Amino acid sequence: MNPKILSVDDSKTIRMLLKRLFIPFVCELFEAGDGQEGLDVATREKPNLIILDYNMPVMDGVTMLRHMRENPELKRTPVIMLTAEASPEIISTVARLGVRDYVTKPFDSDQLLEKAARVVTLERRPEIPEA
């Protein structure tokens, strides 16, 4: 089964950047613009990896993580934080909540891909020969 990756970020730019990053790989990509929407999509789709921002309207990334950890169906879902927040308090809070990795913006796309590949199998899509 193809891995499912959920991107939760209020910035459309970041969601588009991630789409562009993962498009060469066999996976299903889902998006959400805040933590509440992220929870809804995660509950419905049961992603294999969530790439999560911290600072978002409606519900921030830490609150979403707390809700996930209380939900038996989502509590083990791997999460990589991708955020402009780099304060030690936030990093230690999300570490306690079991995030796999923490990437600060600005970020190197290859590095993020490498971290994602430690969580899910990223197989390149076969190239379609030109007609």
Partner 1 sequence: MSNSSLVTEDLSLTSGRALREVFSKQLKLQILESPDNDPLSTLEGKLLHSAVSINGEKISGTVLLQLPEALAHQITEIMLGSAGDAEEIRDVTGELCNMIAGRVKAQLHASGFPATLGTPTVSVGQRIALQQRGEAQFSSTDWSVEGHETGAFNLQVQIRIIS
Give the interface segment with partner 1, choosing from 44-52, 92-100, 106-114, 123-131 (CB under 8 A): 106-114
Site string for partner 1, 17-46 (x = CB under 8 A): x--x--------------------------
Binding status of residue 63 toward partner 1 by CB under 8 A: no
Residue with tokens 């304060």: 87
Closest CB to partner 1 among residues 55, 63: 55
Among 15, 80, 19, 17, CA closest to 54: 80
Binding status of residue 11 toward partner 1 by CB under 8 A: yes
Q: How far is the CB of 11 from partner 1 (least distance, A)?
A: 5
Among 124, 127, 104, 131, CA closest to 115: 104
Binding status of residue 82 toward partner 1 by CB under 8 A: no
Binding status of residue 125 toward partner 1 by CB under 8 A: no
Q: Looking at 46, 57, 117, 118, which residue binds partner 1 (CB under 8 A)?
A: 57
d(C-alpha 58, C-alpha 33), whole Å:
9
Q: Looking at 44, 70, 72, 87, which residue binds partner 1 (CB under 8 A)?
A: 87
> 93-97, long-range: CB within 8 Å, 24+ apart, which pairs?
93/62, 94/54, 94/61, 94/62, 94/65, 97/62, 97/65, 97/66, 97/69
Chain contacts with partner 1 (rule: CB under 8 A): 10-14, 16-17, 20, 55, 57, 83-89, 104-108
